[in-house]
Each structure stands twice: as C-alpha cells, then as structure tokens.
C-alpha cells in the first residue's frame, strides 16, 4: 500500500499536478507513512526523474516549473511533520541561493530542517550576492552563512562570498556552509568553506554541532 501511494506521488509530481500531490501527501500521512519516506521516495524521487528527462531534452523548462510547484505543494504539507522545533535557540544562520541562481527547492529544505534543529533562520531567497550575504550576517549577528547552488556556472559565486569575507577581515567570524547538487567536498575545500553537506538533514545537524562547538570554546 505504502509503495503504491508513494509511486503515485512521484508520478503526479512529474506531471506537475500540484493539487493531486498535495492530496496524496495528506493521504499518505493519514495512512501513517513516515514523512521522510514521502519526501525521499515520493517527492525527491519524482524530481530526480524530471531532472533526468530535462537533461535529455525529453521535458523543458515549463514542465520542470510545474513539477517544482507540485514539489513545493507537497513539501508545505510535510513541513510541520518534518520539523520538531526545539525550545532553546541554538544560533542564527543566513541562508540563500547564490547570485545568478534561481533554484530554491533544496535551499528551502535546508531552511526548514535548520529551523527544526532550533536555529533562527534569515532566508535571503535566491540570486543573493556576496554583499547581501555578508551585510545581513553582520546585521543579525549570524553564526552561519549557508549557500546553495544548483548550476555549475553559479558555484564560483560561493568562492566570491568567501573571498569577500576574507577581504573584509570577517572570514573566521562565520561558519561557512555550502551545498547543492553540483557541489562536493573537493569544491568546498578548494574555496575554503568550512562544511559541505549533501542533504538538508545533515546540513541542519552539521550547523547545530558546529555552532555548539564554537560556543563551547
């Protein structure tokens, strides 16, 4: 039963049918299926297939956009189940997708999971330039600067932020975290980021641990 409804969620997501996705996610939760399973095996699996088809020119931007909307509809239903906000604020993070990049689904998941881990999040949105990341971090007294990139052409803009932090003498003040489909540990090391994580849950766990470690020093 679980497998059938999860597969339906993935199918409707691929077709960009937001209302059906929303309804099925609600039904899956009512059936007691684990929200993480719905996210990973249903929504994310469906989006991976869309991504492959996009790469192979089997679908185009409009189809991907409606799939993204369906994904967001599903995530909105899952959000309260996926996060259990702790009472103690752990610290603050400014999070955004880097300049030139408009992909926000992964970034939104990171924001959601970090909130769930007890961090106060300032969501800077998409297409965020280095000054905005840094000025906002300074203004709110952030512990973490979190950057997401989905395009190989925008990944270098993560380096721009790290370089701007260095120029302003602020590099060591912040825990710099990077992620997104084309980003990896080697790239993170190359640009001098503190942490790379592959998914939103580990981003949240890593941010929390890194902040607590700093505060303990």
Q: Which residues bind ligand B1M (CB under 6 A)?
A: 44, 47-48, 50-51, 54-55, 61, 64-65, 68, 100-107, 109-110, 146-148, 150-152, 177-182, 197, 199-200, 203
CA dist 108 and 113 (Å) reads 9
Between 31 and 152, whose beta carbon lies closer to ligand B1M?
Answer: 152
- Nearest approach, Cβ of 46 to ligand B1M (angstroms)? 10
- Taking the least distance from each CB to ligand B1M, the nearer of 31 and 48 is 48
Q: Is the separation of the CB atoms in 25 and 38 below 8 Å?
A: yes
Comparison of 1 and 61: residue with beta carbon closer to ligand B1M: 61
- Least Å distance between CB 204 and ligand B1M? 9
| Closest approach of ligand B1M to the CB of residue 61, in Å | 5
**Closer to ligand B1M by Cβ: residue 31 or 213:** 213
Instruction: Considering the complex, state which of residue 28 and residue 47 has its C-beta at the smaller distance from ligand B1M.
Output: 47
Per DSSP, the residues of the chain read: -HHHHHHHHHHHHHTT-HHHHHHHHHHHHHTT--HHHIIIIIIIHHHHHHHHHHHTTSS-HHHHHHHHHHHHHHHHHHHHHH----SS--EEEEEEEETT----HHHHHHHHHHHHTTEEEEEEEEEE-HHHHHHHHHHHT-SEEEEE--STTTTHHHHHHHHHHHHTT-GGGSEEEEESTT--HHHHHHHT-SEE-SSHHHHHHHHHHHHHHHHH-
Task: Give the nearer residue to ligand B1M in terms of CB position, either 24 or 121.
Answer: 121
Give the nearest distance from C-beta 1 to ligand B1M in angstroms.
Answer: 26
Please state the closest distance from residue 10 (CB atom) to ligand B1M, in A: 13
- 175 phi/psi in degrees, rounded to 5: -90, 115
Q: How far is the CB of 148 from ligand B1M (least distance, A)?
A: 3
């Amino acid at each position: 039963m679980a497998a059938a409804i999860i597969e339906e969620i993935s199918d409707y997501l691929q077709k960009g049918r937001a209302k059906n996705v929303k309804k099925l996610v609600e039904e899956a939760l009512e059936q007691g299926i684990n929200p993480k399973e719905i996210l990973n095996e249903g929504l994310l699996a469906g989006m991976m297939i869309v991504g492959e088809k996009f790469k192979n020119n089997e679908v185009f931007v409009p189809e991907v956009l409606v799939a993204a909307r369906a994904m967001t509809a599903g995530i909105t239903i899952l959000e309260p189940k996926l996060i259990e906000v702790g009472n103690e604020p752990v610290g603050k993070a400014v999070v955004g997708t880097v300049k030139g990049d408009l992909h926000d689904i992964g970034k939104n998941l990171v924001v959601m999971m970090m909130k769930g881990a007890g961090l106060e999040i300032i969501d800077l949105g998409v297409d965020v330039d280095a000054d905005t990341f840094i000025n906002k971090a300074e203004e709110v007294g952030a512990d973490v600067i979190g950057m997401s990139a989905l395009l190989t052409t925008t990944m270098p803009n993560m380096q721009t932020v790290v370089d701007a932090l260095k120029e302003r003498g602020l590099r060591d003040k912040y825990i710099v975290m990077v992620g997104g489909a084309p980003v990896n540990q080697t790239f993170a090391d190359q640009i001098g980021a503190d942490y790379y994580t592959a998914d939103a849950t580990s981003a949240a766990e890593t941010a929390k641990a890194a902040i607590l470690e700093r505060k303990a020093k």
